[in-house]
Amino acid sequence: MNAPVRVRFAPSPTGFLHIGGVRTALFNYLFARKHDGKFLLRIEDTDTDRSEQRFTDDILSSLQWLGMGADEPILYQSQRLPVYQALADDLISKGLAYRCTCTEAEVEAAREQMIKDGKKPMYARTCRDKNHPAGKGPFAIRAKFPLQGQTGFTDMIRGEISFPNEDLDDFVMIRSNGVPTYNFVVVVDDVEMKISHVIRGDDHINNTPKQIFLYEALGAPKPLFAHLPMILGQDKKKLSKRNGETSTNAYRDQGYLPEALLNFLVRLGWSHGDQELFSFEEMIALFNLENVQVSGAMFNTEKLLWIAGEHMKKADPARLIGILKTDFKGAFSGVSLEALESGYARSLIPHLQPKVKLVSELAAQLDPLLDPGLRVVDSSALKWNKDETQKARIKEAIGALKSAFDSKIAQAGSASLSECGVDHSAVDGALRSLCETHGLKLGDLTQPMRLFVTGHPAASIGLFDLLPLMPWKTASIRLEACLKA
């Protein structure tokens, strides 16, 4: 590549940033990093009726969360309207654009007639050669597209693509209300930003010949184009809210780690052999456009959750605590939230990471473990309710265990069993010995203990791991509640 690589992500703030847009941003970002280039951000906010600041804020916060910040100041199209108008006027003076006074009703009526005549509906070019003066309005400004020949380009993913000029419209560059259109401003800005590669969704392929005309009209070098495959839902149709097209911050709210979401998205249309799991650094090192597929990529929620779980296993516990405190503090009681910084909390997280996929699940598991008080639990589903005699034996065994560990804690003056030298193996041995003494199966004994000690009906942490770590005062109180159930 002779010129420096400069790519851009250019969302419109007319809605929240969805993952289809994030996939486009990611491919641009990886391409820029792979080639020591620049990743730029442009907010295409010329649609003043639909653009909102809250959507811009959402776009920026989403990209920040994902770690894809822009390398240069953000360009806002709404601040550049005089630039677009001046360039459009210049193209008129060169005979490459013209003023059009046709009303929307007139344009639509002509198109309907074309359909009746079996022709392709487009603007009838009524004003193409009328040379309307600037003082007579209102008027739109249209591109004076060539009537013969072909307009083509080499797509870096799809190869040669060509369009007959006779099938292309004299598209509007600036509307009669003075607002410029997408196809015009995108080229003006890409030229000014010195964009070398336009990497975007394949729904923009039909826009490309119009934009090539504008590059040539402006006397500017054309970038290279690469059009990414569409993301499809499970129904093999374009991704929608019904089948996965959710805003990026919604995934954050659900508890996905950003690296997991990016790993999932990079595999929607790109591959590196059979590898499924990538760190961000690996994505940058391995990404290329040659391995981007042409056909649509399938969105699979089950795969996303699996990837989320794999990244959860590798996450730094200290970082997870930071995410919990920032994004999920509402999931904790006041006492539990304060305890997140404790050594006890840090010791629990590695035991939970292999069992959960989302940070929200981690929060749900940690809250009852970090709160020293009793937890209200529903014991109606416990097996011991089916046999009162066995229930009595189970309680007797639990009482014996509690008494033994109460004495050990008191003698040592310690806060937890781990400080007394009691570990996973020791708890395992003690419980198995009690089962043998009282004629119980291990599961019969641990099921009620686990429910009351963890305070969670679907606890992910094992009882043998938890009992040595939990402050014994908390464990003892909860075992006492178990005995009284």
- 12-39 pLDDT, tens digit per residue, is 999 999 999 999 999 999 999 999 999 9
Closest of 250, 340, 350, 256 to residue 306, by C-alpha: 256
Using a 10 angstrom Cβ sphere, with 0-12 exposed, 13-18 middle and 19 or more buried, the burial of residue 217 is buried
Above 80 in pLDDT, residue 240?
no
pLDDT of residue 137: 74
User: Which residues, including other chains, have CB under 8 Å from residue 280's CB and lie 6 or more apart?
Assistant: 67, 259, 262
pLDDT of residue 224: 97
Amino acid at 318: A
The angle subtended at Cα 91 by Cα 85 and Cα 96, nearest 5°, is: 140
Burial of 410 (0-12, 13-18, 19+ CB in 10 A): exposed
pLDDT of residue 242 exceeding 80 = no
Provide the strand spans (E) within 55-214: 75-76, 97-100, 140-143, 150-155, 159-164, 172-174, 197-201
Q: Rounded distance, CA 385 to CA 9, Å?
A: 60
pTM (2 d.p.): 0.92
Terminal Cα distance for the chain, rounded: 73
Q: Around Cβ 124, how many Cβ atoms within 10 Å?
A: 16
pLDDT at 285 over 70: yes
Reading the block at residue 4, the tokens are 């420096």
| Residue-level pLDDT at 388 | 94
pLDDT per residue over 289-302, tens digit each?
999 999 999 999 99
Task: Render pLDDT for 164-217 as a digit per residue (tens, 0 to 9).
Answer: 999 999 999 999 999 999 999 999 999 999 999 999 999 999 999 999 999 999
Residue 245 pLDDT > 80: no
